[in-house]
Amino acid sequence: MDNLKLLYDWQEAQNLLREVLPEIIQRQIDVGNKKILNPIPKEREDEIKSIKFGEEPREPREVIEQMDRLLYKYRTIQNHPKFFSFIPLALSPVSVVGDIINSIHSPYGGAHVLSEGVAIAQKWLINWMGEQIGYPVKELGGIFVSGGSMANLTASVIARNEKLKDEEIPKGTVYISDQTHSSVAKGIHIMGTPLLNIRKIKTDDIFRMDVEDLKRQIEADIKDGFIPFLIVGTAGTTNTGSIDLLEEISKIAKKYNCWFHVDGAYGASGLLSSHKELFKGIEKSDSISWDGHKWLFQSYGCATIICKDRQAMARTFNANPEYLKDVESQDSNINFWDIGIELTCPARGMRLWYTLQRVGTKAFREAIDRGFENAKKFEELFKKDEDFEIISPAMLSTINVRYVNEKYTLEELNEINHKLSEIASKRNEEVYYTTTLRGKTSLRFCAIHPQLTDADIEDVYKKLKRDIESLSL
C-alpha cells in the first residue's frame, strides 16, 4: 500500500518541483553557450536501454538526474539562437510558465462544459487570432491542435466534407504548389483522397504558386471529369518564406467552387508584425493553419486551425454518441470535440493565452519584426559579396544563399555548398542545413529567434567566409 501512496503524493511533487525546476531552467538560460548538435554515443544509448522498468520505486532525484544526464542531454538545441534549420524553436520562458501551469491543472481540453473557463479563454483567443486574419469573428471556429500537420489535415477533411459528396471523392482534386509543405499531401493521403489527385502547381521566380498555371490545371481537370475541391495556398513556405498571391488564389477558388485553405503554420505570425500588408487576401480564405510553436515562441504542441465558418467544422466532425448527450454542444458553447478530430486533448492554447497576457502584443510585434530584420541583415551581407548568389531573397525570416564560383559545374557547387553546411555543423556553434531549390543546393537560414543580434549574424557570415577559404577553392 505504501507504494500506491507514492502515486498520489502531491506533497512530494511540490517539494521536488521546487528543488529541480531552478536547475532545469538554468540549463535553458545557458543555452546560447551550448553545442547545438549533441548526438548520442553508443554506450549512452545502451545505458538508456538498460534502464529497467522494475517492480519497486526509485529515488525521484536519482531518476531526474538520470533523465537529465542521459536523455535530455542528447538532442539538438533547436532553441539556440544560431540554429537556423527547419523552423527553429524560439522557445520563450513565458510560454514555458503557461505550459507548466496548465499541465499541473490538466483541464479537459475537448469539451466546453468540463472546463468552461479555459474553453472560453481559448475560444476568445482564437477569435482574436481570427480578427488578426480579418475573418468576421461572429461565425468563426477553431481549435488548438498539436501542430501544423494536424491543422492541415483537419482543414482538408472539412474541405472535402463541404465540397464533395461521398460518391464524388475519387474524382476530387487538390491543388498545392511545388513549395507546399509535405504535411499537406500527407494529410490528403491520410484522409483517403488518392495522391494521384494532387496537382503540384509550379512556382514563380520567388517561389509563389503560379496562378496562371493553377487556372490552366483546374480547367484541364474539369474537362477530364475531375472535381476540383481544395486549393492550398501558403503564407510563408518553409523553404523560402514566400507568400502565395492569396488575393488572386481566392478569386480562382471562388470561381471554381473550391475550398481555399492557407497554410500559415510558419508565416501567419507575420500578421502580428509591422509587415501585415504582405498577407493581403488572407482574409478571403476559408481556413488557416497557424502554429504557436513556430513564430509565436511557444513550446511544442501548440498550433491552431481556424475556420471562417464554425458550422462547416461542426458539420464535418460532430459525432454525437449517446454517452456524450448530457454535454452536447450549444452553438454558444460549442465543444471542441465537435469541431475537430480529437476527443480528449489538453488545453493547448493556454500557454499562448498566458504569453499574450503577460507580454502584450507589442512585444510580439517587436519579436516577430526582429525575424524580418535578421533575414534582411543576412541578405545585406551576402548581397555585396561575389562569393554568393541569393537563391531566394529575404522573405519573412528566411533567406537562401549559395556559394558560387565560375570554375565549378552545378554538381560541384552543390557538393561544395553541402560541404560548407557540414563544416559549420562540425564546428557546432551555428547550424544551417541545405535545401534544394530548382536543382541548386542552397544554404538556408531561418532566423526567427528574436535574441539573434546583428553581431551574431556578422559572426556567422565571417565564419562561413573562413570555411570557404579553408577549402582552397
Q: Can you give the binding site for ligand PLP, defined by CB under 6 A?
A: 87, 147-149, 152, 181, 183, 234, 238, 263, 265-266, 291, 303
Nearest partner of 301 among 352, 257, 262, judged by Cα: 352
Supply the angle between the helices 93-105 and 350-383 in degrees, to the nearest 10.
160
Query: 252, exposed or middle or buried, with CB in 10 Å at 0-12, 13-18, 19+?
Result: buried
329 to 49, 84, 106, 315, 334: CA distances (angstroms): 46, 43, 21, 12, 5
Nearest partner of 31 among 85, 101, 92, judged by Cα: 92
Please, which residue, 265 or 296, has the CB nearer to ligand PLP? 265
Please, which residue, 87 or 188, has the CB nearer to ligand PLP? 87
**Distance of closest approach, residue 395 Cβ to ligand PLP, in angstroms:** 13
Please, which residue, 210 or 291, has the CB nearer to ligand PLP? 291
**Distance of closest approach, residue 375 Cβ to ligand PLP, in angstroms:** 15
381 to 33, 389, 458, 462: CA distances (angstroms): 24, 11, 8, 10
Report residue 260 CA to chain centroid gap. Answer: 19
**Distance of closest approach, residue 291 Cβ to ligand PLP, in angstroms:** 5
**Distance of closest approach, residue 148 Cβ to ligand PLP, in angstroms:** 2
Q: Rounded CA gap, 354 and 380, in Å?
A: 36
Please, which residue, 235 or 464, has the CB nearer to ligand PLP? 235
Please, which residue, 152 or 193, has the CB nearer to ligand PLP? 152
Report residue 278 CA to chain centroid gap. Answer: 19
Q: Rounded CA gap, 468 and 417, in Å?
A: 9
**Distance of closest approach, residue 265 Cβ to ligand PLP, in angstroms:** 4
**Distance of closest approach, residue 300 Cβ to ligand PLP, in angstroms:** 8
Please, which residue, 96 or 185, has the CB nearer to ligand PLP? 185
Please, which residue, 306 or 416, has the CB nearer to ligand PLP? 306
On whether the CB atoms of residues 280 and 315 are closer than 8 A, the answer is: no
Contact residues for 145 (Cβ-Cβ < 8 A; gap 6+):
151, 154, 303, 304, 305, 340, 341, 342, 345, 348
Please, which residue, 89 or 457, has the CB nearer to ligand PLP? 89
**Distance of closest approach, residue 263 Cβ to ligand PLP, in angstroms:** 5
Using CB positions, name the residue nearest to ligand PLP.
148
**Distance of closest approach, residue 182 Cβ to ligand PLP, in angstroms:** 8
**Distance of closest approach, residue 43 Cβ to ligand PLP, in angstroms:** 32
Please, which residue, 152 or 434, has the CB nearer to ligand PLP? 152
